[in-house]
Amino acid sequence: MSAREIFRIALGGVAANKLRSGLTILGMTIGVSAVIILVAVGNGSRNEVQASINSLGSNVLLVQRAFGGDVTFTQRDADALADEFNAPDVKRVSPVVNATGTTFLAGQESYEPSSVVGTVPAYAQTRSYELQSGAMFTAEDVSRHRRVVVLGPTVVQSLFSGADPVGESVRINGTSFQVVGVTASKGSNGTQDQDDVALAPVTAVQDAITGYASGLSSITVEARSGDVLDAAQAEVTSILTTRKQSADSFQVINQSSIREVATASTDVFTTLLGAVAAISMLVGGIGVMNIMLVSVTERTREIGIRKAIGARRADILAQFLTEAVVISAFGGVTGVVVGIVGSQFEIAGVEPAIAAYSVALAFGASVLSGLFFGTYPAGRAARMRPIEALRFE
Amino acid sequence: MSERPVIHLRDVTREYRVTEEVVVHALRGVSLRIDQGDYVAVMGSSGSGKSTLMHILGCLDSPTAGRYELDGVDVRDIPEDDLADLRNRKIGFVFQAFNLVPRTTALANVELPLTYAGVPRATRRARAAAALRTVGMGERLHHQPSELSGGQQQRVAVARALVTNPPLILADEPTGNLDSHSTAEVLDVFERLHNAGRTIVLITHEEDVAARAQRTIRLADGLVLSDTAQQAFAA
């Protein structure tokens, strides 16, 4: 019998009991769409974490005092790291002084940014800050201890109600700084608002706010590329170990290691979501098997008739197997449609990103599950003896 | 009519081993010869072995011992799938319970044996429609079994039995579920088929049904009790 005939007969069988076939298809639809949507949610959240890590700046190393360490970083340490001979893989070095608990005053408005950073112009490039208005302060501003400041959009919103503040002045802990630029919005990096920031020359910050005693808070180092990040890390560690005569009083944190950890955790998240969804697909497959078993029992007589008038075992097997696959594949198609449509909406604060592999996988798995769960019922139908099948009431 | 016989049974026995000790002898040695064009009624009370005989004649079951030749083919130790092909080509079944495939039109039901024989669709439809016209069901090609009376369903079943043009039409109590009017209708169809030269074996326990056949074979306790030709056909 030709494949077309088998398909025609199987389609007739599916159509014969529309409600039952429909409910089984629904079960499969839910399974397939769950796989697609949940993997898309996992994928979307990973993309968001990736984007926020990237927004920290790429190829970045962070040099910090180790927990309990008693070192002080100075501008000379920063200069030593920028040495092209000792650290050929280092591209930019930015000394960083964090001024905490500073109050900004502009007219009647006062505000306390969560991050006030005294640094050098290179910091903006390393951290991927772009300017939406004005300009970054210059190296000359740093060397001349000029009291200028670049504000983040959140700070501008609070102090100037969003008006362009370039040229205005703000008082930081009582000292007047001139606003020279506003950074473009970067959003949150997952833990903090990167727009709630003020950048000023490291010298001016030390003069007016923090003083020189505590030295630098940290040093931000940018490697020449992602490939030499590990080499740059080794160079930085080696230089500082020599200078501080201690290897465990400071730590060099690698940006890509943060990304790896974050990626690993979101991958686990995606896998878990996928696994939950796969279980619902399994349940859908068992539903197909259940319905096929009922159908085979109910149609025992029909099987007997077909066999009596010349159906071979393979014909009966193919008929019921095709029925199971038609049901599950139909559920797969509707599941893909529902999954793709469902992934257009924001779910639990995450913008789902459909993974092409999950669509192919879910649809393929639905067809295979029809084949797998249809085999036993179809085999049972094919093995029936015609005399007994015909006598069945 | 002494060409090669359509059915040739030689000392056929069939035993069912119910348990280790209990063996039921359904057929104890039946020999039969049915020639082409014969119209034979097989009669017997329940337990006489007529159902078993019908299963063996219909290639749904095989004898324990003895030989059965159907249209020249020795039916013995044939694999199940080849038996299916044999049934498809050589036998047209008519059952007591009509046994049409539910939710399937009369035409599609009659097409079914041709489908399994691999006949192309257009040919199939034409032949099925022709067979339905033969049994007087030409007006109801697209009715489903549930929309037909018992007599009409049985006529569709007869159409299905003859659509492959088989050497043998095997009817198992074809009128058992029918009222007298429908019985007459179906028997008229059989008579027309017989007159057209078909070989028909009809299993029944009704004397008046058997009386319309050309020859009556009576079974009792798994043996042939009598084999008589009707006087009306003797001429």
Q: A319-336, pLDDT tens digit by residue?
A: 999 999 999 999 999 999
CA dist., res. A308 & res. B101, Å (int): 12
Q: What is the mean pLDDT of chain B?
A: 88
Instruction: Decide if B99 and A305 are in contact by the 8 Å CB cutoff.
Output: yes
Residues of A in contact with B55 (CB under 8 A): 387
- Per-residue pLDDT reduced to its tens digit, A293-304: 999 998 899 999
The stretch A92-98 carries a mean pLDDT of 89
Mean pLDDT of A231-250: 84
CA angle A153, A159, A164 (to 5 degrees): 55
- Chain B positions touching A310 (Cβ under 8 A) are 84-85, 87-89, 113, 116-117
Q: Residue B22 burial (CB < 10 Å; 0-12/13-18/19+)?
A: exposed
Partner-chain contact B60 A313, CB within 8 Å? no
Residue A22 phi, psi dihedral angles, 5° rounding: -60, -45
Total residues belonging to chain A: 393
Distance of residue A293 Cα from the nearest chain B Cα, in angstroms: 18
Across the range B130-149, mean pLDDT stands at: 90
CA–CA separation, A112 and A158 (whole Å): 9
Cα dist. B153→A99, A393, B102, B140 in Å? Answer: 95, 18, 11, 10
B122 CB-near residues (< 8 Å, 6+ apart): none
pLDDT above 70 for A86: yes
**Measured between alpha carbons, how far is A169 from A149 in angstroms, rounded to an integer?**
9
The answer to whether the Cα torsion of B86, A314, A16, A4 is positive or negative is: negative
What lies within 8 Å, CB to CB, of B104 at 6+ separation is A12, B144, B145
Angle, helices A356-383 vs A18-55, to 10°: value is 150
Angle at B166 between CA B161 and CA B168, to 5 degrees: 85
SS3 A200: strand
Cross-strand partners of B42? B203, B217
Q: Report the percentage of chain A scoring pLDDT > 90.
A: 21
Asked whether the predicted pLDDT for residue B232 surpasses 60, the reply is: no
Q: Which residues in chain B have Cβ-Cβ distances shorter than 8 Å to A387?
A: 55, 60-61
Mean pLDDT confidence for B206-215: 88
A387: closest CA of chain B, how far (Å): 6
What's the token pair of residue A42? 């996992």
**Do B113 and A310 count as a contact with CB atoms less than 8 A apart?**
yes
Domains identified in chain B and CATH numbers: 36-61+81-234 (3.40.50.300)
| Greatest C-alpha distance within chain B | 56
Residue B235 has pLDDT above 60, yes or no: no
What's the pLDDT score for residue B111?
Answer: 92
Higher pLDDT, A205 or A162: A205
Residue A98 reports pLDDT greater than 90? no
pLDDT tens-digit profile of B69-124? 888 888 887 888 888 999 999 999 998 888 898 888 999 999 999 998 989 989 99
Long-range contacts of A349-352 (CB under 8 A, 24+ apart): A350/A41, A350/A44, A350/A45, A350/A48, A351/A44, A351/A47, A351/A48, A352/A37, A352/A40, A352/A41, A352/A43, A352/A44
Note the pLDDT tens digit of each residue in B17-57: 888 888 888 899 999 999 999 999 999 888 888 888 988 99
Q: What ipTM is given for this predicted complex?
A: 0.89
Residue A51 has pLDDT above 80, yes or no: no
Give domain limits for chain A.
3-52+261-391, 72-245
Structure tokens at A317: 């097997």
Give contacts of B119 with chain A, Cβ < 8 Å. none
Q: Which residue of B has its CA nearest to A3?
A: B118
Q: If residue B220 lies in a helix (H) or strand (E), which one and from where to where?
A: strand B215-220
**Chain mean pLDDT for chain A:** 86
**Which of A98, A129, A128 has the alpha carbon at shortest distance from A115?**
A98
Query: CA-CA distance, A24 to A145, in Å (whole number)?
Result: 75
Q: What integer pLDDT is reported at residue A134 of this predicted model? A: 87
Q: What's residue B234's pLDDT?
A: 44
Beta carbons of A204 and A177 less than 8 angstroms apart: yes
Of B85, B44, B47, B83, residue with least CA distance to B63: B83
- Going by C-alpha positions, the residue among A317, A378, A295, A369 that lies closest to residue A14 is A295
Tell me how close the Cα of A1 comes to any Cα of chain B, in angstroms. Answer: 5
Does B103 touch chain A if contact means CB atoms closer than 8 Å? yes
Nearest residue of A to residue B109 by CA position? A306
Whether B61 sits inside 8 A of A387 (CB atoms) is yes
Closest of A336, A226, A269, A274 to residue A48, by C-alpha: A269
pLDDT for residue B110 = 94
Contact B99 A390 (CB under 8 A): yes
pLDDT band at A191 (very low <50, low <70, confident <90, very high): low
Instruction: Provide the pLDDT for residue A242.
Output: 85
Q: Can you state the angle between helices A255-298 and A300-308, rounded to 10 degrees?
A: 70
Nearest beta carbon to residue B81 from set A5, A305, A312:
A312
Average pLDDT over residues A86-93: 86
